[in-house]
Structure 1
Amino acid sequence: MKFQNTVAALATAGLATAHGHGHAHAHKRATETETVSVPGPVVYDFVVLDPSKPGAPEPISIEKACEGLANNEFEWLNSAVASACPSSSSSTATPTSTSTAAPTTTATVAPAILQETSAVITPASSTSTVEPTSSSTSSSTTAAASTSSSSSSSSSGATGLTADFPDGEIDCGDFPSDYGAVALDYLGLDGWSGIQYVTILDNLVSDIVTAVTGDKCHSGAMCSYACPPGYQKSQWPTTQGSTGQSVGGLECKIDNKLYLTNEDHQKLCIPGVGGVHVKNEMSESVAVCRTDYPGTESETIPLNASPGAVQDLTCPSGEEYFKWKGKKTSAQYYVNPKGVSTEKGCQWGDGSEPIGNYAPLNLGVGETDAGKFLSIFPNAPTTYEKLDFNVRIEGDNLSGECRYEGGKFYDSKGLISGNSGCTVGVTSGAAYFVFYSN
C-alpha cells in the first residue's frame, strides 16, 4: 500500500479563546523574563495530508505509517521523531497503537503533541528531510516526562503525567518535572511559569506580588507551572483574589514543601477537552503563547508551531475547569509574528516590539453546553500592529467562516466592519487554526 500523500504525526488537544472570567489581573511587579519551549509527552498518532485535497487531515494508523517507513515508502520530514517507530528506516516490526518513545506516558494518556518533536512523513520519492528547529533535539523528547529522580525524597515510585503528586514531600526548590510539569528555564524562575507571593485576609487574597527573574518559590508563594500541549495545570486554591485577580499553582508552605491546592486532582497536568489544533503551513515557526490562568495571567505558556506541523491547542472544559465566581474559563493565546522564538515571544514585553503581550493577534477557545467555539481577534487596544501572515479556522463541522487575512477579519458574509474579529462554533469533529502566508 503506497500513499501519494503527506503523512503527519497528529496530536489531539484543546481550543482557546479569551478568558471567560473577564477580570483584569493586577500585576504588582512586571515580569521581565524569558520562556523556553519544551516538548511534551511523545505518544504518536498519524494523519494523511493530501495537498491536492485541502481540508481536514485523514487518520492513518501508526501500524501503517511505521510499515510505510520500514518499506521505504515514507521518509521523516523531521528526524527528531524517528523514535516513534522502532528502527523506522529498516525494521519491519509493527508497533501497537500505544507505542511510545520511552520514557513517556502510557496508553491512558491523550494523543501526543507535535511540539519540537513534531513529525511529518512524506513519500520518499518526492520530499527531502527538513532539519528540526534549533531548540529541538531527539534527546529532548523525554523532557516533559523525565524519569530522573527528584532531589527531594518521595514515597511515589511513579513519574510523569500519570503519577500522583506526593503532597508535602517535594522541596519548594525542586521543580516537579517528574510529575508531568514542563520547566520553563528561560523565565529565570527555576522552571516555574509564574510565582505569586500572596497575603490572605478574611479568606480572600488581599495582596499579590508577582515574582521577577531570579525570585524563588518559597514559603508563602503560589508556584505555577506549564504542562505539555493538550494539557493544563490542575492546581488552584479556592481562595482567590479579592478584586478579581486569579491565583494558581502549588503552594509552598512554611515547612518548605510543595502542597496541592486542588485535591480534586492528584495529577499536576490534566488534558483539555481535545479536538483543537494549530496547523502551520508556512516555512517559519510561530510562537503561540497561552496566558497562565489561573495565575499571573502573563502569556508564558509556550507552543512552538513548527513548519508543516499539526499541534494540540489546549481547550479547558467549561464545566470542569477553574471557575471564578461561577464564571467558566476559556483559554487565550497570543500569536507572535513568524520567526519569533517562544523564548522571546512567550513572556511579558515592553512594547518596543509587537511580541509577547504586544503580539498583534489573539486566539480564543472555549467550551459551552452547545459545543466548542474558536475565535480570532485583534490584541486591541494594547496594539494595532498587523500580523505578517494569515490565519483561518478549518474544521469538520463549523457554524460558519472566520479568517484573518491581510490584516483584516472575514466571516461568511465577507469583510467584517470594524475589524473586531470573528468566532465560529464547532458542533463536532476536529478544528484547526491554520497559519498561512500572505
Structure 2
Amino acid sequence: MRFLEQKAAVGAAIVLLAAASEARHTHNRPVQLETLERRHGHGHSHNKVHSSRADHKDEPALEKRDICSFPLTAGLVAVTPGSENRGWAMSPDQACVAGKFCPYACPPGQLMGQWDADATSYEYPASMNGGLKCDSGGIIKKPFPNKPYCYKGTGSVYAENECSQAVAYCQTVLPGNEAMLIPTLVGAGKTVELAVPDTEYWASTAAHYYINPPGVSTEDACVWGDGSKPIGNWSPYVAGANTDASGETFVKIAWNPIYTGESTFQNDLPKFGVKITCQGGGCNGLPCSIDPSEVKVNGVTSGNSASGAGGGNFCVVTVPKGSKANIETFDVGGSGGGGGGGDETPEPSSSPDPTPT
C-alpha cells in the first residue's frame, strides 16, 4: 500500500509518494492521503471485488436464521436491496452471514461509525471488517455500542455540479471490500457535502470517490462494472480527501488509471471536466483542474501534478483549517468549463445538516 503526503514549501504544494512505514517514520507530518489505486497484494483489482461469489462459492448452505437483515430503521442507505446483500454495502451476490462483519452506506456527508475494534491497521483480511457484526441466529451487534451508526465528516469538501445533468459520486467501502458502492447524487446546479474523515476514522484512512459522467444514475454507477461503459469503477475521474490532526484537509482529483490504461475508451476524451476551487482563500496547490477541452487524456492543469499508482495523473490541494473546497464538475465547452483554480468560489447553498444516526 502506498500513501500520499503533501507539505507546503515556498508557497507551493510538494507531493511525495511513499510507503506507509516510511511516511510514518521519515516525515515530520503524518500520512495525509492514500493513493486511490491501492493494491493489497492478495488479488484485489478492478476486475474482482473482495468476497465475490468466487471467494465463497464453496461455503456450506446457510439456514435463514444465520443471515442478518439490513436495519431499515437506522437511517442508513440501502445498497442494491433487491440482491443477496439485501441493502448492505457488500457485493450484490454476498449475504450478511453469521460470523462476518457487514458494512453499510451512510447518507451524504456522513461516515460509517462502526467496524471491528480489533482491526486497527490497513491489512487484509482485517480491512474487510467494517460495519456491524452478524452473530448466529441473525442477530446484529454494534462493535461500539455507544457510538452512532453514522456520523458527520469534517465538512471541508463539497461536490459542486455545474453540469446540465446530475452527477453520481460513488464512494469506496473501507473498511470493507473497497468497491465503489456508497452513492451521492449531485443534481444539476447543486452542491452537496462529501464525507471527509479525520484521523479518528478507521486506521486514519481517507475517503475515495469515483466521479461518473453526467446523466448516469447512482443505481447504474455505484455498482462494480464490466468495462463496457465508462461508468462506475471504469469512470474517467477519481477523487480523495481527508483531514489531518491540525485541521488541514487534503483534496485530490485524478484520472482513473483503469480508464486511461486498460479500457476500450482510453483514447476518448470525456465530455465533462473536474476541478478544485476554494472557499475563503488560503488554499495551496491551485490551479488543480482536468479540463478535456484544454488537455488530452491523462492531462492535468497544475503546477504540482504527478503520476500515481497505475499511471493516473493527479493534483492535490491543501485546504487550511476553517476553509472549504469544492470539487466542481462542468460540461466541456459550457459556461462552467474553464481551467479552474480561482481562490474564491461562492459558498454552497445551505441545507440542513443530516442528523448522525
Q: What displacement does 1:284 show?
A: 0.8
Aligned to 1:425: 318
Aligned to 2:284: 399
Query: Does 2:149 correspond to 1:268?
Result: yes
Equivalent position to 1:376, from 249, 253, 257 = 253
Equivalent position to 1:366, from 242, 259, 268 = 242
Distance 1:246 1:190, change over 3 A: closer
Q: What displacement does 1:243 show?
A: 5.7
Distance 1:382 1:247, change over 3 A: farther
Q: Which amino acid aligns with 2:186?
A: A
1:48-89 CA deviation, whole Å, 9 max, x = no partner? xxxxxxxxxxxxxxxxxxxxxxxxxxxxxxxxxxxxxxxxxx
- Distance in structure 2 (CA, Å) of the matches to 1:340 and 1:17: 28
Q: Report if the CA contact (8 A) 1:17-1:330 is conserved.
A: yes
Structure 1 stretches of 5 or more lacking a match? 1-15, 33-169, 195-210
- Distance in structure 2 (CA, Å) of the matches to 1:227 and 1:266: 14
Q: What displacement does 1:341 show?
A: 1.2
Q: Report if the CA contact (8 A) 2:66-2:98 is conserved.
A: no
Query: Does 2:115 correspond to 1:229?
Result: no
Q: Report if the CA contact (8 A) 1:19-1:329 is conserved.
A: no
Distance 1:244 1:21, change over 3 A: farther
Structure 2 stretches of 5 or more lacking a match? 1-31, 55-64, 333-357
Q: What displacement does 1:266 show?
A: 2.5
Residues matched between the structures, number: 262
Aligned to 1:220: 99
Q: Percent identity?
A: 32
- Distance in structure 2 (CA, Å) of the matches to 1:226 and 1:257: 19
- Distance in structure 2 (CA, Å) of the matches to 1:29 and 1:246: 9
Q: Report if the CA contact (8 A) 2:208-2:238 is conserved.
A: yes
Q: Report if the CA contact (8 A) 1:193-1:300 is conserved.
A: yes
Q: Which amino acid aligns with 2:131?
A: G
- Distance in structure 1 (CA, Å) of the matches to 2:195 and 2:187: 17
Look up the SS of the partner of 1:344 in the other structure. helix
Q: What displacement does 1:293 show?
A: 0.7
Q: Report if the CA contact (8 A) 2:113-2:149 is conserved.
A: yes
- Distance in structure 2 (CA, Å) of the matches to 1:20 and 1:283: 27
- Distance in structure 1 (CA, Å) of the matches to 2:37 and 2:314: 19
Q: Which amino acid aligns with 2:229?
A: E
Q: Which amino acid aligns with 1:322?
A: W
Equivalent position to 1:193, from 89, 97, 114 = 89
Q: Report if the CA contact (8 A) 1:171-1:258 is conserved.
A: no
Q: Report if the CA contact (8 A) 1:172-1:258 is conserved.
A: no
Q: Which amino acid aligns with 2:115?
A: W
Aligned to 1:344: 220
Aligned to 1:387: 270
Query: Does 2:180 correspond to 1:286?
Result: no
Q: Report if the CA contact (8 A) 1:235-1:261 is conserved.
A: yes
- Distance in structure 2 (CA, Å) of the matches to 1:187 and 1:356: 19
Q: TM-score, normalised by structure 2?
A: 0.66
Equivalent position to 1:250, from 132, 137, 154 = 132
1:316-365 CA deviation, whole Å, 9 max, x = no partner? 11x21100xxxx20011001122111111101111122111111110110
Look up the SS of the partner of 1:421 in the other structure. strand
Aligned to 2:201: 321
Q: Which shifted more, 221-230 or 172-181? A: 172-181
Distance 1:179 1:351, change over 3 A: same
Higher relative contact order (CA 8 A, sep 6+): 1
Look up the SS of the partner of 2:276 in the other structure. strand
